[in-house]
Structure 1
Protein backbone atom coordinates (compact mmCIF):
# COMPACT_ATOMS: atom_id res chain seq x y z
CA UNK A 1 0.00 0.00 0.00
CA UNK A 2 1.49 3.38 -0.99
CA UNK A 3 2.51 5.85 1.72
CA UNK A 4 -0.35 8.31 2.29
CA UNK A 5 1.18 11.79 2.28
CA UNK A 6 2.29 14.02 -0.60
CA UNK A 7 4.37 16.93 0.68
CA UNK A 8 4.20 20.11 -1.41
CA UNK A 9 6.68 22.94 -0.88
CA UNK A 10 6.52 26.20 -2.87
CA UNK A 11 9.92 27.80 -3.41
CA UNK A 12 11.50 30.96 -4.74
CA UNK A 13 15.23 31.43 -4.14
CA UNK A 14 14.96 29.27 -1.03
CA UNK A 15 18.47 27.79 -1.04
CA UNK A 16 19.34 29.15 2.40
CA UNK A 17 16.32 27.53 4.11
CA UNK A 18 15.38 24.51 2.02
CA UNK A 19 18.08 22.09 3.29
CA UNK A 20 16.86 22.41 6.89
CA UNK A 21 13.26 21.99 5.77
CA UNK A 22 14.11 18.82 3.84
CA UNK A 23 16.28 17.35 6.59
CA UNK A 24 13.36 17.66 9.02
CA UNK A 25 11.25 15.46 6.74
CA UNK A 26 13.51 12.42 7.15
CA UNK A 27 11.63 11.00 10.18
CA UNK A 28 8.52 10.94 8.00
CA UNK A 29 10.31 8.87 5.38
CA UNK A 30 11.53 6.47 8.04
CA UNK A 31 7.97 6.14 9.37
CA UNK A 32 6.63 5.29 5.91
CA UNK A 33 4.46 8.40 5.78
CA UNK A 34 5.75 10.20 2.70
CA UNK A 35 4.66 9.00 -0.72
CA UNK A 36 6.32 11.85 -2.59
CA UNK A 37 7.92 15.24 -2.14
CA UNK A 38 6.99 17.94 -4.64
CA UNK A 39 8.91 21.21 -4.83
CA UNK A 40 6.90 23.73 -6.83
CA UNK A 41 9.21 26.54 -7.89
CA UNK A 42 8.40 30.03 -9.10
CA UNK A 43 11.62 30.74 -11.00
CA UNK A 44 14.49 30.46 -8.53
CA UNK A 45 17.85 31.80 -9.66
CA UNK A 46 19.89 30.32 -6.82
CA UNK A 47 20.70 26.71 -5.87
CA UNK A 48 17.10 25.81 -5.02
CA UNK A 49 16.59 23.54 -8.08
CA UNK A 50 19.81 21.62 -7.41
CA UNK A 51 18.95 21.17 -3.73
CA UNK A 52 15.45 19.97 -4.51
CA UNK A 53 16.51 17.55 -7.22
CA UNK A 54 19.39 16.29 -5.10
CA UNK A 55 16.90 15.35 -2.39
CA UNK A 56 14.92 13.20 -4.79
CA UNK A 57 11.98 15.59 -4.92
CA UNK A 58 9.81 16.03 -7.97
CA UNK A 59 10.79 19.53 -9.07
CA UNK A 60 8.34 21.55 -11.15
CA UNK A 61 8.73 25.07 -12.47
CA UNK A 62 5.85 27.40 -13.01
CA UNK A 63 4.65 30.94 -12.77
CA UNK A 64 5.77 32.95 -9.73
CA UNK A 65 3.18 33.30 -6.98
CA UNK A 66 2.79 31.09 -3.92
CA UNK A 67 -0.89 30.32 -4.60
CA UNK A 68 -0.09 29.35 -8.20
CA UNK A 69 2.75 27.15 -7.01
CA UNK A 70 0.63 25.43 -4.36
CA UNK A 71 -2.09 24.77 -6.92
CA UNK A 72 0.43 23.36 -9.40
CA UNK A 73 1.90 21.06 -6.77
CA UNK A 74 -1.50 19.77 -5.72
CA UNK A 75 -2.45 19.05 -9.33
CA UNK A 76 0.28 16.44 -9.72
CA UNK A 77 0.19 15.02 -6.18
CA UNK A 78 -0.86 11.37 -5.90
CA UNK A 79 -1.22 10.97 -2.13
CA UNK A 80 -4.48 10.51 -0.28
CA UNK A 81 -3.27 13.30 2.00
CA UNK A 82 -1.69 16.61 1.00
CA UNK A 83 0.76 18.38 3.31
CA UNK A 84 1.58 21.95 2.24
CA UNK A 85 4.73 23.28 3.88
CA UNK A 86 6.74 26.50 3.53
CA UNK A 87 10.37 26.18 2.53
CA UNK A 88 11.58 28.17 5.54
CA UNK A 89 9.83 25.88 8.04
CA UNK A 90 11.45 22.88 9.74
CA UNK A 91 9.25 20.37 11.55
CA UNK A 92 10.05 19.05 15.02
CA UNK A 93 11.18 15.42 15.17
CA UNK A 94 7.88 14.19 16.63
CA UNK A 95 5.84 15.27 13.62
CA UNK A 96 5.39 11.77 12.13
CA UNK A 97 3.84 10.44 15.36
CA UNK A 98 1.44 13.37 15.59
CA UNK A 99 0.49 13.11 11.92
CA UNK A 100 -0.07 9.35 12.16
CA UNK A 101 -2.36 9.92 15.15
CA UNK A 102 -4.32 12.49 13.14
CA UNK A 103 -4.66 10.24 10.09
CA UNK A 104 -5.99 7.47 12.32
CA UNK A 105 -8.27 9.47 14.62
CA UNK A 106 -9.52 12.29 12.35
CA UNK A 107 -9.36 10.91 8.81
CA UNK A 108 -11.78 13.49 7.39
CA UNK A 109 -10.26 16.62 8.95
CA UNK A 110 -7.40 19.02 8.29
CA UNK A 111 -4.55 19.78 10.68
CA UNK A 112 -1.87 22.38 11.25
CA UNK A 113 1.15 22.32 13.53
CA UNK A 114 2.00 24.50 16.50
CA UNK A 115 3.96 27.57 15.42
CA UNK A 116 7.43 28.37 16.76
CA UNK A 117 10.13 30.74 15.50
CA UNK A 118 13.78 29.79 15.14
CA UNK A 119 15.01 32.70 17.23
CA UNK A 120 16.22 33.42 20.76
CA UNK A 121 14.70 36.90 20.70
CA UNK A 122 12.37 37.43 23.68
CA UNK A 123 9.54 38.43 21.32
CA UNK A 124 9.71 35.15 19.40
CA UNK A 125 7.78 33.04 21.91
CA UNK A 126 5.31 35.84 22.59
CA UNK A 127 4.37 36.31 18.95
CA UNK A 128 4.22 32.57 18.31
CA UNK A 129 1.92 32.16 21.33
CA UNK A 130 -0.34 34.89 19.97
CA UNK A 131 -0.49 33.18 16.58
CA UNK A 132 -1.31 29.82 18.17
CA UNK A 133 -4.13 31.41 20.17
CA UNK A 134 -5.51 32.91 16.95
CA UNK A 135 -5.43 29.46 15.36
CA UNK A 136 -7.26 27.87 18.31
CA UNK A 137 -9.86 30.57 18.91
CA UNK A 138 -10.60 31.72 15.37
CA UNK A 139 -9.54 28.77 13.24
CA UNK A 140 -7.13 31.04 11.34
CA UNK A 141 -3.65 29.48 11.47
CA UNK A 142 -0.71 31.00 9.63
CA UNK A 143 0.54 29.36 6.45
CA UNK A 144 3.83 28.90 8.33
CA UNK A 145 2.07 26.25 10.43
CA UNK A 146 1.72 23.94 7.43
CA UNK A 147 -1.58 22.50 6.24
CA UNK A 148 -2.32 18.77 6.22
CA UNK A 149 -5.62 17.63 4.78
CA UNK A 150 -7.22 14.71 2.98
CA UNK A 151 -7.24 15.00 -0.79
CA UNK A 152 -11.02 14.61 -0.69
CA UNK A 153 -11.37 17.62 1.61
CA UNK A 154 -9.01 19.70 -0.53
CA UNK A 155 -11.16 18.94 -3.57
CA UNK A 156 -14.40 19.54 -1.65
CA UNK A 157 -13.45 23.11 -0.72
CA UNK A 158 -12.02 23.87 -4.15
CA UNK A 159 -8.35 23.89 -3.12
CA UNK A 160 -6.26 27.02 -3.01
CA UNK A 161 -7.52 30.05 -4.88
CA UNK A 162 -5.16 31.90 -7.19
CA UNK A 163 -4.80 35.00 -5.00
CA UNK A 164 -1.80 37.34 -4.73
CA UNK A 165 -2.05 37.22 -0.91
CA UNK A 166 -4.15 35.54 1.81
CA UNK A 167 -4.44 32.26 -0.06
CA UNK A 168 -3.61 30.48 3.19
CA UNK A 169 -6.34 32.34 5.09
CA UNK A 170 -8.93 31.77 2.36
CA UNK A 171 -8.49 28.00 2.31
CA UNK A 172 -8.78 27.59 6.09
CA UNK A 173 -11.89 29.78 6.03
CA UNK A 174 -13.40 27.39 3.48
CA UNK A 175 -12.41 24.36 5.54
CA UNK A 176 -13.85 25.86 8.73
CA UNK A 177 -12.62 25.92 12.31
CA UNK A 178 -14.48 22.74 13.28
CA UNK A 179 -12.55 20.74 10.71
CA UNK A 180 -9.04 21.92 11.65
CA UNK A 181 -7.01 20.27 14.39
CA UNK A 182 -3.84 21.74 15.87
CA UNK A 183 -1.10 19.18 16.40
CA UNK A 184 1.41 19.51 19.22
CA UNK A 185 4.39 18.96 16.91
CA UNK A 186 6.05 22.26 16.01
CA UNK A 187 6.46 24.05 12.71
CA UNK A 188 9.68 25.95 13.45
CA UNK A 189 9.76 28.75 10.94
CA UNK A 190 12.40 31.33 10.05
CA UNK A 191 12.34 34.61 11.95
CA UNK A 192 14.36 36.42 9.27
CA UNK A 193 11.56 38.85 8.31
CA UNK A 194 10.92 39.77 11.93
CA UNK A 195 14.61 40.29 12.59
CA UNK A 196 14.92 42.40 9.44
CA UNK A 197 11.85 44.58 10.00
CA UNK A 198 11.65 44.55 13.80
CA UNK A 199 9.50 42.17 15.83
CA UNK A 200 6.85 44.67 16.87
CA UNK A 201 6.68 46.41 13.50
CA UNK A 202 6.35 43.16 11.56
CA UNK A 203 3.79 41.75 13.98
CA UNK A 204 1.70 44.92 13.76
CA UNK A 205 1.94 44.94 9.97
CA UNK A 206 0.73 41.32 9.76
CA UNK A 207 -2.12 42.03 12.18
CA UNK A 208 -3.25 45.02 10.11
CA UNK A 209 -3.23 42.99 6.89
CA UNK A 210 -5.34 40.17 8.29
CA UNK A 211 -7.72 42.63 9.96
CA UNK A 212 -8.24 44.54 6.72
CA UNK A 213 -8.81 41.29 4.84
CA UNK A 214 -11.39 40.08 7.37
CA UNK A 215 -13.11 43.45 7.11
CA UNK A 216 -13.48 43.01 3.35
CA UNK A 217 -10.34 44.40 1.69
CA UNK A 218 -9.43 42.53 -1.49
CA UNK A 219 -6.28 40.36 -1.58
CA UNK A 220 -5.22 42.33 -4.66
CA UNK A 221 -5.28 45.65 -2.79
CA UNK A 222 -3.57 44.11 0.23
CA UNK A 223 -0.85 42.57 -1.93
CA UNK A 224 0.00 45.99 -3.37
CA UNK A 225 0.27 47.35 0.16
CA UNK A 226 2.26 44.33 1.36
CA UNK A 227 4.85 44.73 -1.35
Structure 2
Protein backbone atom coordinates (compact mmCIF):
# COMPACT_ATOMS: atom_id res chain seq x y z
CA UNK A 1 0.00 0.00 0.00
CA UNK A 2 0.96 3.64 -0.29
CA UNK A 3 3.59 4.52 2.30
CA UNK A 4 6.91 6.28 2.51
CA UNK A 5 9.02 4.64 -0.17
CA UNK A 6 12.59 3.54 0.13
CA UNK A 7 14.93 5.43 -2.14
CA UNK A 8 14.89 4.00 -5.66
CA UNK A 9 15.92 5.15 -9.08
CA UNK A 10 12.85 6.72 -10.66
CA UNK A 11 12.89 9.14 -13.58
CA UNK A 12 9.89 11.29 -14.49
CA UNK A 13 9.62 12.83 -17.92
CA UNK A 14 7.07 14.73 -19.94
CA UNK A 15 3.71 16.26 -19.09
CA UNK A 16 0.20 16.54 -20.45
CA UNK A 17 -1.28 18.93 -17.87
CA UNK A 18 -4.11 21.09 -19.22
CA UNK A 19 -4.83 24.39 -17.49
CA UNK A 20 -8.51 25.24 -17.54
CA UNK A 21 -11.15 26.86 -15.38
CA UNK A 22 -13.69 24.07 -15.84
CA UNK A 23 -15.58 23.58 -12.56
CA UNK A 24 -15.74 19.86 -13.22
CA UNK A 25 -13.27 17.68 -11.29
CA UNK A 26 -9.88 17.21 -12.89
CA UNK A 27 -8.90 13.70 -13.95
CA UNK A 28 -5.61 11.85 -14.13
CA UNK A 29 -5.37 8.71 -16.26
CA UNK A 30 -2.92 6.20 -14.77
CA UNK A 31 -1.59 3.26 -16.79
CA UNK A 32 0.87 0.67 -15.46
CA UNK A 33 2.74 -1.06 -18.27
CA UNK A 34 5.22 -3.88 -18.59
CA UNK A 35 6.30 -4.61 -22.19
CA UNK A 36 3.00 -3.39 -23.60
CA UNK A 37 3.92 -3.71 -27.26
CA UNK A 38 1.41 -3.00 -30.01
CA UNK A 39 -1.56 -3.21 -27.63
CA UNK A 40 -0.13 -0.41 -25.49
CA UNK A 41 0.34 1.70 -28.61
CA UNK A 42 -3.33 1.21 -29.44
CA UNK A 43 -4.20 2.17 -25.87
CA UNK A 44 -2.31 5.46 -26.20
CA UNK A 45 -3.80 6.15 -29.63
CA UNK A 46 -7.30 5.77 -28.23
CA UNK A 47 -6.46 8.35 -25.53
CA UNK A 48 -5.59 10.82 -28.29
CA UNK A 49 -9.10 10.56 -29.77
CA UNK A 50 -11.17 11.43 -26.71
CA UNK A 51 -13.95 14.02 -26.73
CA UNK A 52 -12.60 15.32 -23.40
CA UNK A 53 -8.87 15.20 -22.80
CA UNK A 54 -7.55 13.99 -19.48
CA UNK A 55 -5.83 16.66 -17.43
CA UNK A 56 -2.82 14.36 -17.40
CA UNK A 57 -1.83 10.88 -18.50
CA UNK A 58 0.64 9.11 -16.22
CA UNK A 59 2.36 5.97 -17.48
CA UNK A 60 4.30 3.89 -14.97
CA UNK A 61 6.81 1.77 -16.90
CA UNK A 62 7.22 -1.14 -14.50
CA UNK A 63 10.67 -2.39 -15.45
CA UNK A 64 9.77 -2.80 -19.12
CA UNK A 65 12.43 -3.88 -21.60
CA UNK A 66 10.64 -3.21 -24.89
CA UNK A 67 10.72 0.58 -24.88
CA UNK A 68 7.13 1.07 -23.73
CA UNK A 69 8.32 4.03 -21.64
CA UNK A 70 9.70 5.73 -24.75
CA UNK A 71 6.44 5.17 -26.60
CA UNK A 72 4.60 6.87 -23.75
CA UNK A 73 7.08 9.72 -23.64
CA UNK A 74 6.68 10.34 -27.37
CA UNK A 75 2.92 10.37 -26.84
CA UNK A 76 3.37 13.19 -24.34
CA UNK A 77 2.51 11.36 -21.15
CA UNK A 78 4.17 11.88 -17.81
CA UNK A 79 6.42 8.84 -17.48
CA UNK A 80 7.51 7.21 -14.23
CA UNK A 81 10.19 4.70 -15.12
CA UNK A 82 11.05 1.91 -12.67
CA UNK A 83 14.26 -0.10 -13.10
CA UNK A 84 12.67 -3.32 -11.84
CA UNK A 85 9.16 -4.71 -12.10
CA UNK A 86 7.24 -4.66 -8.83
CA UNK A 87 3.73 -5.39 -10.02
CA UNK A 88 0.73 -3.30 -11.06
CA UNK A 89 -0.32 -2.52 -7.47
CA UNK A 90 2.92 -0.68 -6.73
CA UNK A 91 2.94 0.92 -10.18
CA UNK A 92 -0.57 2.28 -9.76
CA UNK A 93 0.25 3.60 -6.30
CA UNK A 94 3.28 5.47 -7.63
CA UNK A 95 1.16 6.91 -10.41
CA UNK A 96 -1.46 8.00 -7.88
CA UNK A 97 1.15 9.71 -5.71
CA UNK A 98 2.34 11.72 -8.71
CA UNK A 99 -1.17 12.55 -9.95
CA UNK A 100 -2.60 16.06 -9.67
CA UNK A 101 -6.16 15.26 -10.67
CA UNK A 102 -9.16 15.06 -8.36
CA UNK A 103 -10.12 11.77 -10.00
CA UNK A 104 -7.72 8.86 -10.56
CA UNK A 105 -8.79 6.87 -13.61
CA UNK A 106 -6.94 3.56 -13.81
CA UNK A 107 -6.87 1.64 -17.08
CA UNK A 108 -4.80 -1.33 -18.22
CA UNK A 109 -2.19 -1.07 -20.95
CA UNK A 110 -4.07 -3.57 -23.11
CA UNK A 111 -7.38 -1.74 -23.41
CA UNK A 112 -8.68 0.90 -25.78
CA UNK A 113 -11.01 3.54 -24.39
CA UNK A 114 -13.90 5.01 -26.36
CA UNK A 115 -13.88 8.67 -27.41
CA UNK A 116 -16.46 9.49 -24.74
CA UNK A 117 -15.08 7.31 -21.93
CA UNK A 118 -13.21 10.04 -20.04
CA UNK A 119 -16.07 12.50 -20.51
CA UNK A 120 -18.53 9.98 -19.07
CA UNK A 121 -16.30 9.33 -16.06
CA UNK A 122 -15.99 13.04 -15.31
CA UNK A 123 -19.74 13.59 -15.75
CA UNK A 124 -20.61 10.77 -13.36
CA UNK A 125 -18.44 12.20 -10.60
CA UNK A 126 -19.76 15.69 -11.30
CA UNK A 127 -23.40 14.63 -11.17
CA UNK A 128 -22.96 12.20 -8.26
CA UNK A 129 -20.94 14.03 -5.61
CA UNK A 130 -21.53 11.25 -3.05
CA UNK A 131 -20.00 8.59 -5.30
CA UNK A 132 -16.50 7.60 -4.21
CA UNK A 133 -15.47 5.29 -7.04
CA UNK A 134 -16.80 3.67 -10.19
CA UNK A 135 -16.01 0.82 -12.54
CA UNK A 136 -16.93 0.35 -16.17
CA UNK A 137 -17.23 -2.67 -18.42
CA UNK A 138 -15.53 -4.38 -21.33
CA UNK A 139 -17.45 -3.87 -24.57
CA UNK A 140 -18.98 -6.67 -26.65
CA UNK A 141 -16.44 -6.45 -29.48
CA UNK A 142 -13.13 -7.75 -28.03
CA UNK A 143 -9.96 -6.83 -29.88
CA UNK A 144 -8.45 -10.32 -30.26
CA UNK A 145 -10.26 -12.39 -32.88
CA UNK A 146 -9.52 -15.96 -31.76
CA UNK A 147 -12.43 -17.89 -30.23
CA UNK A 148 -11.14 -18.12 -26.66
CA UNK A 149 -10.49 -14.38 -26.44
CA UNK A 150 -13.94 -13.64 -27.83
CA UNK A 151 -15.56 -16.07 -25.37
CA UNK A 152 -13.62 -14.90 -22.33
CA UNK A 153 -14.14 -11.19 -22.92
CA UNK A 154 -17.78 -11.53 -23.93
CA UNK A 155 -18.43 -13.50 -20.75
CA UNK A 156 -16.74 -10.72 -18.76
CA UNK A 157 -18.90 -8.12 -20.55
CA UNK A 158 -22.05 -10.12 -19.85
CA UNK A 159 -21.18 -10.47 -16.15
CA UNK A 160 -20.79 -6.72 -15.74
CA UNK A 161 -23.89 -5.89 -17.74
CA UNK A 162 -26.19 -8.02 -15.55
CA UNK A 163 -24.64 -7.03 -12.22
CA UNK A 164 -25.88 -4.55 -9.64
CA UNK A 165 -25.15 -0.86 -10.20
CA UNK A 166 -24.06 -0.57 -6.57
CA UNK A 167 -20.83 -2.49 -6.99
CA UNK A 168 -19.18 -4.50 -4.24
CA UNK A 169 -15.60 -4.16 -5.47
CA UNK A 170 -13.20 -2.26 -7.72
CA UNK A 171 -11.75 -3.04 -11.15
CA UNK A 172 -8.30 -1.88 -12.26
CA UNK A 173 -8.80 -2.28 -16.01
CA UNK A 174 -11.39 0.51 -16.07
CA UNK A 175 -11.91 2.01 -12.64
CA UNK A 176 -11.92 5.54 -11.25
CA UNK A 177 -11.76 6.79 -7.68
CA UNK A 178 -11.57 10.15 -5.99
CA UNK A 179 -7.93 10.75 -5.07
CA UNK A 180 -8.64 11.75 -1.47
CA UNK A 181 -10.61 8.52 -0.97
CA UNK A 182 -7.88 6.42 -2.58
CA UNK A 183 -5.23 7.91 -0.32
CA UNK A 184 -7.43 7.57 2.75
CA UNK A 185 -7.77 3.79 2.38
CA UNK A 186 -4.08 3.37 1.58
CA UNK A 187 -4.19 2.60 -2.15
CA UNK A 188 -3.53 -0.83 -3.62
CA UNK A 189 -2.01 -3.57 -1.46
CA UNK A 190 1.51 -4.00 -2.81
CA UNK A 191 1.83 -7.52 -1.41
CA UNK A 192 0.19 -8.58 -4.66
CA UNK A 193 3.28 -8.63 -6.88
CA UNK A 194 1.61 -10.12 -9.97
CA UNK A 195 -1.50 -8.96 -11.85
CA UNK A 196 -3.96 -10.52 -9.45
CA UNK A 197 -6.86 -9.36 -7.27
CA UNK A 198 -5.26 -6.18 -5.98
CA UNK A 199 -8.21 -4.23 -7.41
CA UNK A 200 -10.80 -6.51 -5.80
CA UNK A 201 -9.02 -6.21 -2.44
CA UNK A 202 -9.03 -2.42 -2.76
CA UNK A 203 -12.76 -2.53 -3.46
CA UNK A 204 -13.37 -4.56 -0.31
CA UNK A 205 -11.51 -1.98 1.77
CA UNK A 206 -13.39 0.88 0.12
CA UNK A 207 -16.71 -0.72 1.00
CA UNK A 208 -15.57 -1.59 4.51
CA UNK A 209 -14.63 2.07 5.05
CA UNK A 210 -18.14 3.10 4.00
CA UNK A 211 -17.36 4.40 0.52
CA UNK A 212 -19.69 3.83 -2.43
CA UNK A 213 -18.64 2.18 -5.69
CA UNK A 214 -20.86 2.43 -8.75
CA UNK A 215 -20.92 0.10 -11.74
CA UNK A 216 -21.64 2.30 -14.75
CA UNK A 217 -22.36 -0.10 -17.59
CA UNK A 218 -22.21 2.54 -20.31
CA UNK A 219 -18.56 3.37 -19.57
CA UNK A 220 -16.83 0.96 -21.91
CA UNK A 221 -13.34 -0.10 -22.86
CA UNK A 222 -12.19 -2.64 -25.43
CA UNK A 223 -9.97 -5.45 -24.19
CA UNK A 224 -7.17 -6.29 -26.63
CA UNK A 225 -5.62 -9.24 -24.79
CA UNK A 226 -5.34 -12.51 -26.69
CA UNK A 227 -6.22 -15.46 -24.47
CA UNK A 228 -4.93 -18.99 -25.02
CA UNK A 229 -6.05 -22.12 -23.11
CA UNK A 230 -3.09 -22.35 -20.74
CA UNK A 231 -2.81 -18.62 -20.09
CA UNK A 232 -6.54 -18.32 -19.42
CA UNK A 233 -6.82 -21.25 -17.02
CA UNK A 234 -3.59 -20.27 -15.25
CA UNK A 235 -4.78 -16.68 -14.77
CA UNK A 236 -8.26 -17.72 -13.65
CA UNK A 237 -7.06 -20.37 -11.22
CA UNK A 238 -3.83 -19.04 -9.71
CA UNK A 239 -4.24 -15.27 -10.11
CA UNK A 240 -7.97 -14.93 -9.53
CA UNK A 241 -9.82 -17.84 -7.93
CA UNK A 242 -7.24 -18.90 -5.32
CA UNK A 243 -6.34 -15.43 -3.99
CA UNK A 244 -9.99 -14.30 -4.22
CA UNK A 245 -11.01 -17.29 -2.09
CA UNK A 246 -8.39 -16.31 0.49
CA UNK A 247 -9.74 -12.75 0.45
CA UNK A 248 -13.34 -13.93 0.90
CA UNK A 249 -12.38 -16.09 3.85
CA UNK A 250 -10.19 -13.37 5.34
CA UNK A 251 -12.95 -10.75 5.23
CA UNK A 252 -15.85 -13.21 5.54
CA UNK A 253 -17.52 -11.40 2.67
CA UNK A 254 -19.37 -13.32 -0.03
CA UNK A 255 -21.50 -10.83 -1.95
CA UNK A 256 -24.23 -11.70 -4.43
CA UNK A 257 -22.51 -9.73 -7.17
CA UNK A 258 -20.36 -10.10 -10.29
CA UNK A 259 -18.68 -13.56 -10.37
CA UNK A 260 -20.09 -14.44 -6.94
CA UNK A 261 -23.79 -14.29 -7.81
CA UNK A 262 -26.00 -17.05 -6.46
CA UNK A 263 -26.40 -18.50 -9.96
CA UNK A 264 -22.62 -18.85 -10.25
CA UNK A 265 -22.39 -20.65 -6.92
CA UNK A 266 -25.22 -23.00 -7.89
CA UNK A 267 -23.47 -23.66 -11.22
CA UNK A 268 -20.40 -24.88 -9.33
CA UNK A 269 -22.59 -27.19 -7.23
CA UNK A 270 -24.29 -28.61 -10.33
CA UNK A 271 -20.98 -29.24 -12.11
CA UNK A 272 -19.61 -31.25 -9.17
CA UNK A 273 -22.93 -33.00 -8.63
CA UNK A 274 -22.86 -34.14 -12.24
CA UNK A 275 -19.26 -35.34 -11.92
CA UNK A 276 -20.11 -37.20 -8.74
CA UNK A 277 -23.10 -38.87 -10.37
CA UNK A 278 -21.01 -39.94 -13.37
CA UNK A 279 -18.30 -41.39 -11.13
CA UNK A 280 -20.93 -43.44 -9.31
CA UNK A 281 -22.35 -44.91 -12.52
CA UNK A 282 -20.25 -48.15 -12.45
CA UNK A 283 -21.87 -49.04 -9.12
CA UNK A 284 -25.28 -47.45 -9.58
CA UNK A 285 -26.36 -47.30 -13.20
CA UNK A 286 -29.30 -45.04 -12.33
CA UNK A 287 -26.92 -42.22 -11.48
CA UNK A 288 -26.29 -41.65 -15.20
CA UNK A 289 -29.86 -40.37 -15.41
CA UNK A 290 -29.25 -38.18 -12.36
CA UNK A 291 -26.11 -36.81 -14.06
CA UNK A 292 -28.22 -35.87 -17.10
CA UNK A 293 -30.69 -34.10 -14.83
CA UNK A 294 -27.90 -32.10 -13.22
CA UNK A 295 -26.52 -31.21 -16.68
CA UNK A 296 -29.96 -30.08 -17.84
CA UNK A 297 -30.40 -28.00 -14.69
CA UNK A 298 -27.02 -26.36 -15.37
CA UNK A 299 -28.01 -25.46 -18.94
CA UNK A 300 -31.37 -24.05 -17.81
CA UNK A 301 -29.72 -22.03 -15.04
CA UNK A 302 -27.22 -20.55 -17.51
CA UNK A 303 -29.67 -20.14 -20.38
CA UNK A 304 -29.42 -16.31 -20.27
CA UNK A 305 -25.68 -16.31 -20.94
CA UNK A 306 -26.08 -18.90 -23.71
CA UNK A 307 -28.79 -16.75 -25.26
CA UNK A 308 -26.40 -13.81 -25.03
CA UNK A 309 -23.65 -15.77 -26.82
CA UNK A 310 -26.15 -16.87 -29.46
CA UNK A 311 -27.34 -13.31 -30.07
CA UNK A 312 -23.79 -11.98 -30.36
CA UNK A 313 -21.96 -14.77 -32.21
CA UNK A 314 -24.45 -17.42 -33.30
CA UNK A 315 -25.19 -21.06 -32.55
CA UNK A 316 -21.79 -22.55 -33.44
CA UNK A 317 -19.99 -20.11 -31.13
CA UNK A 318 -22.42 -20.94 -28.32
CA UNK A 319 -21.86 -24.68 -28.71
CA UNK A 320 -18.09 -24.16 -28.66
CA UNK A 321 -18.47 -22.07 -25.48
CA UNK A 322 -20.30 -24.80 -23.56
CA UNK A 323 -17.30 -26.97 -22.54
CA UNK A 324 -15.25 -23.91 -21.59
CA UNK A 325 -18.13 -22.65 -19.48
CA UNK A 326 -18.32 -26.01 -17.67
CA UNK A 327 -14.55 -26.00 -17.20
CA UNK A 328 -14.66 -22.49 -15.74
CA UNK A 329 -17.02 -23.55 -12.97
CA UNK A 330 -15.04 -26.75 -12.40
CA UNK A 331 -11.72 -25.06 -11.69
CA UNK A 332 -13.43 -22.19 -9.84
CA UNK A 333 -14.96 -24.71 -7.47
CA UNK A 334 -11.66 -26.57 -7.16
CA UNK A 335 -9.85 -23.34 -6.28
CA UNK A 336 -12.44 -22.51 -3.63
CA UNK A 337 -12.05 -25.97 -2.10
CA UNK A 338 -8.26 -25.71 -2.02
CA UNK A 339 -8.45 -22.19 -0.65
CA UNK A 340 -10.86 -23.27 2.08
CA UNK A 341 -8.57 -26.12 3.17
CA UNK A 342 -5.58 -23.76 3.20
CA UNK A 343 -7.50 -21.28 5.31
CA UNK A 344 -8.59 -23.98 7.75
CA UNK A 345 -5.01 -25.17 8.26
CA UNK A 346 -3.81 -21.58 8.75
CA UNK A 347 -6.49 -21.00 11.38
CA UNK A 348 -5.55 -24.22 13.17
CA UNK A 349 -1.86 -23.30 13.10
CA UNK A 350 -2.58 -19.86 14.48
CA UNK A 351 -4.78 -21.36 17.19
CA UNK A 352 -2.06 -23.77 18.28
CA UNK A 353 0.57 -21.01 18.44
CA UNK A 354 -1.70 -18.81 20.55
The aligned counterpart of 2:143 is 118
Alignment of 1:25-174 (within 5 A): 25-28=47-50, 30-31=51-52, 33-62=53-82, 63-64=84-85, 65-108=87-130, 109-116=132-139, 117-120=142-145, 121=147, 123=151, 124-130=153-159, 133=162, 136=165, 139-144=168-173, 146-164=174-192, 165-174=196-205
Distance 1:161 1:37, change over 3 A: same
Contact 1:2-1:35 within 8 A present in 2 as well: no
Instruction: State the 1:178 CA deviation.
Output: 6.2
Q: Pick the structure with greater CA Rg.
A: 2
What CA deviation, in whole Å up to 9, does each residue of 1:45-82 have, x standing for no partner? Answer: 11202211110011111242211111111111111111
Q: What's the TM-score, normalizing by structure 2? A: 0.54
Residue in structure 2 matching 1:179, options 212, 228, 242: 212
The aligned counterpart of 2:248 is 214
Name whichever of 77-86 and 208-217 sits farther off: 208-217
CA RMSD of aligned residues (A): 2.8
Q: What's the TM-score, normalizing by structure 1? A: 0.80
Give ranges in structure 2 of 5+ residues lacking alignment: 1-19, 252-338, 340-354
What is the DSSP-based 3-state SS (H/G/I as helix, E as strand, rest coil) of the residue aligned with 1:143?
A: coil
Distance 1:198 1:37, change over 3 A: closer
The aligned counterpart of 1:15 is 37
Equivalents in 2 of 1:157, 1:27: separation in Å?
Answer: 33
Contact 1:38-1:58 within 8 A present in 2 as well: yes
Which has the larger strand fraction?
A: 1
Equivalents in 2 of 1:84, 1:78: separation in Å?
Answer: 14
Distance 1:175 1:2, change over 3 A: farther
Equivalents in 2 of 1:113, 1:58: separation in Å?
Answer: 24
The aligned counterpart of 1:225 is none
Contact 1:11-1:39 within 8 A present in 2 as well: yes
Give ranges in structure 1 of 5+ residues lacking alignment: 223-227
Which has the larger helix fraction?
A: 2
Equivalents in 2 of 1:132, 1:203: separation in Å?
Answer: 20
Name whichever of 57-66 and 91-100 sits farther off: 91-100
What CA deviation, in whole Å up to 9, does each residue of 1:75-105 have, x standing for no partner? Answer: 1111111111110111123313421321221
